Structure 1
Amino acid sequence: MKDTGMIRNIDPLGRVVIPKELRKNLEIEKCDPIEIFTDGSKIVLQKHQPGCIFCGEITENVFKGKYVCSACAKAVSR
């Protein structure tokens, strides 16, 4: 993990601001969904990438509001 040298404080409501430089570098726009999880003693934030409801593969295909990859769509249609 790369050290950016940036330190931010958590505000009284438990929020932290992700610096503009990092958002720009990681192509995170206003209102983008962010995943939050832990890895050992670390808190990890990453841009959410939608996955197929059947296999989890990253996809942009949406059917009735759900993400479904091409392979799973083909398998279900048989």
Structure 2
Amino acid sequence: MKATGVTRKLDNLGRVVLPIELRRNLGIGICDTLEIFTEGENIVLRRYNATDGLLEIAQRMKDRVAVEDCGEMKPVLMDKLEEIEKIIMSGTDKH
């Protein structure tokens, strides 16, 4: 983790302001959505990307189909799930 040397206090509602320099350097814009994680005693902010969640769901479905007895449908299901992944990924190329 890289230290910035910047400190901020929480206001009475628990909010903290991210400095404009930091937001500019990281490409975080007004109305961008951030995810909040904890890592040990640290709070981690990351720009939210809905595509990651969709790809994770598609991968879990593929993993499940791979171990289930789907008969003749298994190759069709796997092809469709791969197609879904390609569609999701093509949407990220446009942004």
Q: Which residue of 2 aligns with 1:2?
A: 2
Normalising by structure 1, we get a TM-score of 0.69
What is the alpha-carbon distance in structure 2 between the residues aligned to residue 55 and residue 41 of structure 1?
30
Q: Equivalences for 1:17-56 in 2 at 5 Å? A: 17-50=17-50, 51=52, 52=54, 53-55=57-59
**After superposition, what is the alpha-carbon deviation per residue over 1:10-47, rounded to whole angstroms, capped at 9, x for unaligned?**
00000000110111111000000100010001000011
Structure 1 residue 71: Cα displacement: 6.9
Unmatched segments (≥5 aa) in structure 1? 57-67, 73-78
SS in 1 for 2:4: coil
Identity %: 48
Higher helix residue share? 2
Higher relative contact order (CA 8 A, sep 6+): 2
Aligned length: 61
Structure 1 distance, partners of 2:87, 2:46, is: 26
Q: TM-score, normalized by length of structure 2?
A: 0.57
Equivalent of 2:85 in 61, 65, 69: 69
Of Structure 1 and Structure 2, which has the larger fraction of its residues in strand?
Answer: 1
| Cα distance in 2 between the residues matched to 1:55 and 1:22 | 34
CA–CA separation in structure 1 for the residues paired with 2:58 and 2:11: 39
User: How much is the aligned-residue C-alpha RMSD, in angstroms?
Assistant: 2.1
Structure 2, unmatched stretches of 5+, are: 61-83, 89-95
